A and B are shown apart, each in its own frame.
Chain A
Amino acid sequence: MSATATREAVAETPPDTRGPTAREPMAILITGWVSIGAAIGGTLLLQLLQALAGPQVTQECVAEGVERDFTGAGGVCNILEAFRSRAQTIVLLLAIITGVSAIVAGFWRYRHMPSKRMREQCIAGAVLGVQGLIVALALLWVRQAELGTFVRVFFNIEVLEGYGGAFLQGARNTLLLAFAGEIGGIILGLVMAMLVLSKRRVVRAPARVYINFFRGTPLVWQLLVFYFGLALGLNLDVGAFQVAIIVFSLNTGAYAAEVFRAGIQSIEKGQMDAARSLGMSYMQAMRYSIVPQAVRRVIPPLMNEFVILIKDTALVIVLGLLASEYDLLSVAREGYSATFNSTFFVAAAVGYLAVTLPLIRLVNWVESRLRSGLTGVVGQ
């Protein structure tokens, strides 16, 4: 904000070095956009129009293996109908023709462009053309196959009816497992990192054994052994859900320990010198100077670990959870068992992406903030 304000105050903006544009490169760029737009946007638009027309089961649809009387037959047929329609053919042909045109014109002409902007427009148009062409050809190829069963099994949205609450509960449980595991893991990881950095071997060794063990064995093995082996085998009074949180904490702790260790070691040696020279003990220096700086540095890698953990919580599917404890994937499997329809798994994927995509964006944002300087994220 302040940077912009200062720039305005002195009325100084950097000169535009990219140069003017012209009709030809603009045309190439637009052609590229038309290609990718037709292939993806056109296809989606046709699907939407068909869906708005309401469900109907046609002869062609039945011929393709969709029986009349199962749940969601109308919706499945709509998808097929739109995909088989003449309009879809036109859309795909348009995407291919414009794609090839943009590729040929763009790659042929870009060297002759007199300005940077025009050159970039030619290249962008050609690249978009490649993408549009690939998508259109792929869709054409898929159209060759018999799609009735495929669409019925993966895209029968109606079978999900009545599972909304279960999916929401599943998403809640997935996040609960991931958050609890991450918090436990961060605490454990920080402690283990401190131990592993000790100059005393007797302190280092057990922490090292713990870290290497949990990094060196499969997470699914840890879940199985801790639940069926320890919890049930030793007749402990803990449920599968609690065991899962403990295992996720232990596992994340091992990885977080390495992240924290690297973060702590990345702090300049002078920081320890300065703190000790002021009379702080080693632990005080760690607590007030080294660790606060290291924590800021390891936020992005820790958030990446969290994204990984969210997906790894799906492994609780191997444990005997109560229905109320089901995570996203368990809910999907439950739905699949009842209907033998894989649309449930597609829905689970949507659920995971709904959580992970914003988080991935957040990680990238935090990383760029950290790279651009200490203030902002680090300062306060």
Chain B
Amino acid sequence: MNEDGSLVRLEAIHKWFGALHVLKGIDFAIEPGQVVTIVGPSGSGKSTLLRTINMLEEPTEGKVFFDGREITDIRTDLNKVRTEMGIVFQAFNLFPHKSAVDNITMALEKVLKVASGEAKKRAMEQLEKVGVAEKANAYPEQLSGGQQQRVAIARALAMKPKLMLFDEVTSALDPELIKEVLDAIKKLAEEGMTMAIVTHEMSFAREVGTRALFMDDGVIIEDGAPEDIFSNPSDERTRSFLSHVL
């Protein structure tokens, strides 16, 4: 935890991609146990914001604190920090040359130095949990999109992270496969995992989130309880966005 009791704190984050100003001063914190859903139009900076939390995107300006450390400090061992937070991507990003179970054991063995037998056991536990244990020895190309994404979730969970980040994890899925992935995330939320979820699934954001952020044009416009933001948005931009997607 950080000094203020939060798990993650972002201070005055700015991100430039060349001449493009993507994040324009982000300040916010995630408390342990919170499930924060982040919605907003495409190009609003949601994914970039999520990726600055585990420093896959290095902020151009500003500080990120995670669990009592300033991880934007160049002396911080980011590899160590990243083992404590998992991320799941839109494109799954499973290792195509490894079976489902080996996708999970790789980082356990090579990074956390878990013995191979124990790693396998932990991997199977996680696969069991997301309901793809019977596909443990299948290669990613032999799995459906929904199965791949659930393996990706299991891969992140096996590291026993303190925080999970979800980056539009259902956007690349066929409609009939979305539910199985959302259900896996819901189960995690029920277990009390701290999470930040960027999503286009509004009803899911509302249902699973304990807190919602609405972003537009690189800034956080609304931050509050999901019921308030989805039913009773205070900002005109939020209203306009929600009227288009709901």
Contact = CB atoms under 8 A, between A and B. Distances in A.
A17 interface: no
Interface in A327-380: 373-375, 378-379
Interface string A267-278: 010110111111
A280 B91 contact: no
A361 B207 CA distance: 59
Given A270-B93, A284-B110, A288-B106, A277 B86 contact: yes
A292 interface: yes
Contact of A375 (B86, B95, B139): B139
B79 A280 contact: yes
24 contacts: A274-B94, A274-B95, A276-B82, A277-B82, A277-B86, A277-B87, A278-B106, A278-B111, A278-B159, A279-B82, A279-B111, A280-B79, A280-B107, A280-B111, A284-B110, A284-B111, A288-B106, A293-B95, A296-B97, A374-B96, A374-B139, A374-B141, A375-B139, A378-B96
A289 B139 contact: no
A220 B194 CA distance: 65
B96 A279 contact: no
Contact of B89 (A273, A281, A293, A373): A273
B111 A271 contact: no
A296 B98 CA distance: 13
A153 to B, nearest CB: 55
Q: Which of A273, A281, A292 has the most CB of B within 10 A?
A: A273
Contact of A278 (B141, B142, B155): B155
Q: Which 4 A-B pairs have the closest CB atoms?
A: A279-B83, A278-B107, A274-B93, A270-B93
Nearest to A278: B107
A378 B97 contact: yes
B71 to A, nearest CB: 13
Given A273-B93, A278-B107, A293-B96, 13 more contacts: A268-B91, A274-B93, A275-B95, A275-B107, A276-B56, A276-B79, A277-B86, A277-B87, A279-B107, A288-B106, A375-B141, A378-B97, A379-B97
Interface of B: 54, 56, 79-80, 82-83, 86-87, 89, 91-97, 106-107, 110-112, 139, 141-142, 152, 155-156, 159
A275 B141 CA distance: 18
Contact of A279 (B80, B89, B93, B139): B80
Nearest to A295: B97
Majority secondary structure, A binding face: helix
A293 B103 CA distance: 13
Contacts of B97: 292-293, 296, 374, 378-379
Nearest to B92: A270
Contacts of B96: 293, 374, 378
Contacts, number: 73
B11 to A, nearest CB: 22
Contacts of A273: 56, 87, 89, 93
Interface of A: 268, 270-271, 273-281, 284, 288-289, 292-293, 296, 373-375, 378-379
B97 to A, nearest CB: 5
A281 B107 CA distance: 11
A379 B106 contact: no
A45 to B, nearest CB: 51
A284 B79 CA distance: 11
Contact of B110 (A268, A280, A293, A375): A280
Contacts of A284: 110-111
Contacts of A375: 139, 141-142
Contacts of A296: 97
A268 B93 contact: yes
A3 to B, nearest CB: 14
B82 A278 contact: yes
Q: Which of B91, B107, B155, B159 has the most CB of A within 10 A?
A: B107
B155 A271 contact: no
A280 B93 CA distance: 15
Contacts of B92: 270
B109 to A, nearest CB: 9
A137 B152 CA distance: 66
A278 B96 CA distance: 16
A289 B95 contact: yes
Nearest to B96: A374
Nearest to A373: B141
Contacts of B91: 268, 270
Contacts of A281: 79
Nearest to B55: A276
